[in-house]
Amino acid sequence: MEKIVDARGKNCPIPVIMTKKALEEIEEGKILVMVDNETAKENVSKYAKNAGCEVAVEAKEGEFHMNIYKKKTVINEKSDSYIVVITSDKFGEGDEKLGKILMKSFIISLKEQNKKPEGIIFINNGVKLTTEGSEVIEDLKELMGMGVDIISCGTCLDFYGVKEKLLVGSVSNMYSIAEKMTTLRVVKV
């Protein structure tokens, strides 16, 4: 029997949490997740794909029905995987100009590391590095091309009024960010 998750009328991160719980209840198979807004559709789809599931989305009269297919998986420990969390558009405290120079140098240096981070998460003032006017956009695009996931906090982008100015990476929610931060080694900048 197909499991159904009715997350219509729920704000994020609730649809993601409901989907996560439904996926945890099955070893393999299909669940149907119903949401009624674009943000929930994007966040649930992204979560399911990151969890190794296949996702098929169908739009139906202002709603989205997502068929999520979970396959039996073998747990793969990624003990050497890490993410970088950037909380400011400057590196360190002190002189602002120096902090911006150091941040650019840090991001350039990440491109040269033998072991690249699995992702870079930008939160709080750090989201400004992924938006119009940032001096590191091209460097972040290169990192994306190398397989590094570039993630900006949607709440932070909204708070600073720069969501429409995002030039690189994807928008995520605090649930997904917290999940990455609790499952991978974190390097905080």
Q: DSSP secondary structure string, 27-81?
A: SSEEEEEEESSHHHHHHHHHHHHHTT-EEEEEEETTEEEEEEEE--------TT-
Domains delineated in the chain = 3-70 (3.30.110.40), 82-188 (3.40.1260.10)
Mean pLDDT for back-to-back runs of 10 residues, the chain (189 residues)? 88 88 90 92 88 90 92 59 93 92 92 89 96 95 94 95 96 89 82
Question: What is the predicted pLDDT for the residue at 72?
Answer: 75
Label residue 75 exposed, middle or buried (CB < 10 Å: 0-12, 13-18, 19+). Answer: exposed
Question: What is the predicted pLDDT for the residue at 75?
Answer: 47
Predicted TM-score (pTM) of the model is 0.64
Question: What is the predicted pLDDT for the residue at 106?
Answer: 93
Question: What is the predicted pLDDT for the residue at 27?
Answer: 87
Residues identified as active-site:
12
